[in-house]
Structure 1
């Protein structure tokens, strides 16, 4: 059997964010030795370098959206790169960049699923539900809108990035670690019936039970996409993000989450986003992210049966 090929795709932009600095995320992950650590797991890793797109003009919102044209350009680049890797049978990893870029990666994954007859499941590991619309958020920052856009709520240039219809429906998402949802957004996620396992749910049920629920129904015909926003983690262990929210998963809870995803054997694409070295301490958040990504690819304390 040939080795699984992992393709690293750097996307150095903070075009959708409210703070500058996520554009440095891809390099921080490389400095933390992501490729080498995955190669040690027996994987074949190809670093495709960085995608290119417009610079961040750092302007206020226009008609409710900040930098919409630039966000579309970056997401089209991600969409094209991701679809190319998936079509070649590779497992693409997006080194972000901010979370608006998941519009491009997941639109590509959804297209790949339609082409191969697979069921899509998206695990959204994040402090935020990212289901905002221009009407629900005054900031206009599109990194708070990707799930809404993927489900058809948002500007047509993003909701129909890969064709003439929204990429996905809310039922494909399982959101884990949520602890910050804007006032207007609460109504939106409720009406859309997004599967959300917030921190209270994790506190009450425990990470093991939550992951069993979130992963239920995954089988041989499932393409599992993991969208890992580093602010999913508690800021005490992961300070290097622009939008910290206290009360996130601990190191052990995060490890268990990743190990249980690995146990399914069905993760087929990954985003690592919102790592912001400008807020980090000696690259510790990037190192932690790489540590957790190793666990996504099967690193464990013991050899498990």
Structure 2
């Protein structure tokens, strides 16, 4: 496990349908993220917040809301993320809405091309985020990042990172999905995305789900986790803009994170869509920090190292 951690705050809700995710980075800091990681012997440097355009809160143009602004934020994140990876550090993106997965994962994919690593992306989310402008009436780009990364979308987004598509669908494993639009569902199937939805988790259990999602991860794998906080059941995590009932319980989420930690391959992390404006006494941020701690080795069992 890489001991040098960089926190990168990206305070924007530019791709979202509700305001407030721009306050997510500060909520995670208030919940003590840096101190919690340091308690595990990790060396944490908080790089502060990236800067980008304000949210103009306009209707979509040709199917995309705030395309230029979304591209600017994601380009800034791509550059920052890539710089951290080149220094051999483990970057944690403090989002921000999930459109930022475009900048983050395109940087990780670029780093993997440069270093000859295999990429595995675990997309923990209630939504498949595989929409396109023709499929979504809202035009909110936080519903599109996986599609964009796989080459479906406008060039200002698909071209970030210098290669289109940035990734192929076979590197992604989606976990916890329970809200997919009809047209989006068709596109997901066509792309061959591997999805472990909530029915799969209900039937097979989280342990089997994670065993399947982590299959083939080895010492040459860069494991990237993109954690949308709405992955969690809203009963335990109310502070998100798009709550979908029926998500993983606290224990299921803990097991998911612990099994990722067990691989020893986690190399970059996104924490997205935390919305303090909709939270209760920063409870969701504190839960997110608790789960991140499990990603970095906190175990509920007295396990011998």
Does TM, normalized by the shorter one, top 0.5? yes
The yes-or-no answer on 1:188 pairing with 2:155 is no
Supply the distance in 2 between the matched residues of 1:153 and 1:50 (Cα, whole angstroms). Answer: 29
**After the TM superposition, which residues 156-305 of structure 1 pair with which residues of structure 2 at under 5 Å, given as runs?**
156-301=155-300, 302-305=302-305
Kept after mapping to 2: 8 A contact 1:3/1:42:
no
Q: CA RMSD in A?
A: 0.9
Supply the distance in 2 between the matched residues of 1:119 and 1:163 (Cα, whole angstroms). Answer: 18
Corresponding residue for residue 114 of structure 1: 113
**After the TM superposition, which residues 88-167 of structure 1 pair with which residues of structure 2 at under 5 Å, given as runs?**
88-167=87-166
Corresponding residue for residue 69 of structure 1: 68
Q: Structure 1 segments of 4 or more deviating over 2 A? A: none
Normalising by structure 1, we get a TM-score of 0.99
Supply the distance in 2 between the matched residues of 1:304 and 1:179 (Cα, whole angstroms). Answer: 36
Normalising by structure 2, we get a TM-score of 0.99
Measured after TM superposition, the shift of residue 261 of structure 1 is 0.1
May I ask how many residue pairs the two structures share in their alignment? 304
Q: Deviations along 1:61-89, whole A, 9 cap, x unmatched?
A: 00000000000000000000000000000
Corresponding residue for residue 44 of structure 1: 43
Measured after TM superposition, the shift of residue 162 of structure 1 is 1.1
Kept after mapping to 2: 8 A contact 1:3/1:44:
no
Measured after TM superposition, the shift of residue 264 of structure 1 is 0.2
Measured after TM superposition, the shift of residue 3 of structure 1 is 6.9
Structure 1 SS opposite 2:211:
helix
Supply the distance in 1 between the matched residues of 2:113 and 2:304 (Cα, whole angstroms). Answer: 34
Corresponding residue for residue 20 of structure 1: 19
Flag structure 1 segments of 5+ consecutive residues without an equivalent: none
Flag structure 2 segments of 5+ consecutive residues without an equivalent: none
Q: Deviations along 1:125-164, whole A, 9 cap, x unmatched?
A: 0000000000010000000000000000011111111114
Supply the distance in 2 between the matched residues of 1:189 and 1:142 (Cα, whole angstroms). Answer: 17
Supply the distance in 1 between the matched residues of 2:173 and 2:123 (Cα, whole angstroms). Answer: 6
Supply the distance in 2 between the matched residues of 1:22 and 1:183 (Cα, whole angstroms). Answer: 26
Kept after mapping to 1: 8 A contact 2:177/2:197:
yes
Q: Deviations along 1:214-267, whole A, 9 cap, x unmatched?
A: 000000000000000000000000000000000000000000000000000000
Measured after TM superposition, the shift of residue 303 of structure 1 is 2.7
Structure 2 SS opposite 1:131:
coil
Change in CA separation of 1:29 and 1:239 when aligned onto 2, cut-off 3 Å:
same
